[in-house]
Amino acid sequence: MTYNFDEIINRKGTFSTQWDYIQDRFGVSDLLPFSISDTDFRMPYEVQEAIAKFNELGIYGYTRWNHDTFKKAICGHFERRMGTVLNPDEIVYSPSVLYTISILLRELATKQKSVLAFSPMYDSFYMVVEENNLQLIESSLVERDGHFEIDFADLEEKMQQADVFLLCSPQNPTGRLWTYEELEQIVKLCKKFQVALISDEIHMDVNLTKRRHLPILTFYTQYQNMYLISSASKTFNTPGLIGSYAIIPDETMRERFFTIQKRRDFLNSASTLGMLATVTAYNESQKYIDELIPYIDQNLSYVEKFIQEKIPEFKYRKAEATYLAWIDCREMPWSMDELQEAFVKIGKIGVMSGKIYGNERYLRMNCGASLSKIRTGLDAMLKSVSYLREQ
Ligand SMILES: Cc1ncc(COP(=O)(O)O)c(C=O)c1O
């Protein structure tokens, strides 16, 4: 292994949302966190070196992102890993994935003012729809043996009331990696009802299957009103450096996006370090992904086995993608509040209740960490559950 994902790194005192501000989510501060989705891993050393070199200069003036270096790195990454050829002219920089989603929703959800998405869903999807004064329509995924499937009849019915379908591909929190057939069917329905399709593909690199992740633009010839949004930040653990990108094939919308960024929101500069991290990681750190995938796979397999053997009150089937474990607690004899209280007081762990993602009988455990942390977390879970069993 070139990269050491086993290393325990003390992240406290780094203004880390996950580690330093855990009290905001769980009420106390001395917890081992498995909460918001950044990893505990160091970013690739190639990126560290590129940033260290840049920092030697000590100049952080205004910058531009609209150049070949940035765009070619993204094109190269999509071609190498996904076999997808992007048009570099359609790439735009954005400070964050949700910033882009927020703008696109405002621009696209104008007729019925409503947005359709699968539930459970990434919690910021609820917020971005609500805070833009749009109506959210949810199509619930159907669970079968820990595998989440699309209810296409329900989706079709709800498409008729929506302006935009907001897809998460692969899906947070269920970890589904959508198949060709599923994506094609979604695209067909969007086309049938003239619903714009926004695909958030930030988790695309952590693909634990042998299938390829299929960027939504694979289906561009079938339907053109689609937008792909992604970032290197999840894979390489760089969200604090700021930076993401989108592919906006429609020229008018792209121009509108530029205008909003520059003349309404005055984002006059790209984050230099975020841009440098994206370019370096995509050009030089492909091996990091190759090593990250089996590491996450091992972590999630460990979670699956542990739960199966030791916590029969829960159910978990290993995800197809992402480093998030979506754990089914529907059959436990306790309320989520009781479980959370035991986690905090007995286990001293912070694991997200599924409530904010749309199902409070689930847990979302961030497994983007060393196996030893995952082990400690699961032991603490078992200790908490054992305590509840005895009550
Ligand atoms: C599906 C999904 N989209 C977007 C984000 C956040 O991206 P950004 O910080 O670039 O808005 C996350 C982070 O957890 C996520 O899981």
- Quick: pLDDT tens for 100-132: 999 999 999 999 999 999 999 999 999 999 999
Whether the per-residue pLDDT at 351 is higher than 90: the answer is yes
- Atom of ligand 1 lying closest to residue 172 CA: 1
The whole-number pLDDT of residue 124 equals 98
How much is the average pLDDT of 356-368?
A: 97
Question: Which pLDDT score, from 0 to 100, does residue 1 have?
Answer: 83
The whole-model pTM stands at 0.97
Q: Is the CB of 98 under 6 A from ligand 1?
A: yes
| Distance from the alpha carbon of residue 231 to the mean position of ligand 1, in angstroms | 9
**Given ligand 1 and candidates 93, 98, 324, which is best to mutate, with the most ligand atoms within 8 Å of its CB?**
98
Q: In whole numbers, what is the pLDDT of the chain averaged over residues?
A: 97
- CB distance 37 to ligand 1 below 6 Å: yes
Whole-number pLDDT of residue 30? 92
**pLDDT for 48 beyond 90:** yes
Whether 39 has a pLDDT exceeding 90, the answer reads: yes
Q: Is 121 in the pocket of ligand 1 (CB under 6 A)?
A: no
Model confidence pLDDT, tens digit, residues 261-318: 999 999 989 999 999 999 999 999 999 999 999 999 999 999 999 999 999 999 999 9
Return residue ranges of the chain for CATH 3.90.1150.10: 17-44+287-390
Nearest ligand 1 atom to the CA of 98 is: 11
Confidence of residue 63 (pLDDT cuts 50, 70, 90): very high
CATH 3.40.640.10 range(s) for the chain read 62-284
Query: Does residue 278's CB lie within 6 angstroms of at least one atom of ligand 1?
Result: no
Can you tell me which atom of ligand 1 is nearest the CA of 36?
A: 14
Measured in Å, residue 309 CA sits from the centre of ligand 1 at 32
**Does the beta carbon of 244 lie inside 6 Å of ligand 1?**
yes
Cβ–ligand 1 contact at 225 (below 6 Å)? no
Please give the pLDDT value at position 179: 98
Query: 230 CA distance to ligand 1 centroid (A)?
Result: 9
CATH 1.20.1250.20 is held by the domain 62-284: no
Say what percent of the chain tops pLDDT 90: 99
CA of 239 to the centre of ligand 1 (A): 9
Q: Per-residue pLDDT tens for 211-237?
A: 999 999 999 999 999 999 999 999 999
Read off the pLDDT of residues 70-105 as tens digits, 9 standing for 90 and up: 999 999 999 999 999 999 999 999 999 999 999 999
Residue 38 Cα: closest atom of ligand 1? 14
Which atom belonging to ligand 1 lies closest to the Cα atom of 101?
Answer: 11
Atom 7 of ligand 1, nearest CA residue: 97
Please report how many Cα atoms fall inside a 13 Å half-sphere around the Cα of residue 176, on the Cβ side: 24
- Cβ of 200 closer than 6 Å to ligand 1, yes or no, is yes
Residue nearest (by alpha carbon) to ligand 1 atom 9: 96
What's the CATH fold of domain 17-44+287-390? Answer: Aspartate Aminotransferase, domain 1 (3.90.1150)
Mutate which of 25, 234, 241 for ligand 1? The one with the most ligand atoms within 8 Å of its CB, which is 234
Q: Across residues 9-24, what is the average pLDDT?
A: 93
Per-residue model confidence (pLDDT) at position 268? 86
Measured by CA distance, the residue closest to atom 14 of ligand 1 is: 37
Question: What pLDDT was estimated at residue 21?
Answer: 93
Q: What percent of the chain has pLDDT over 70?
A: 100
Mean pLDDT computed over 33-46: 96
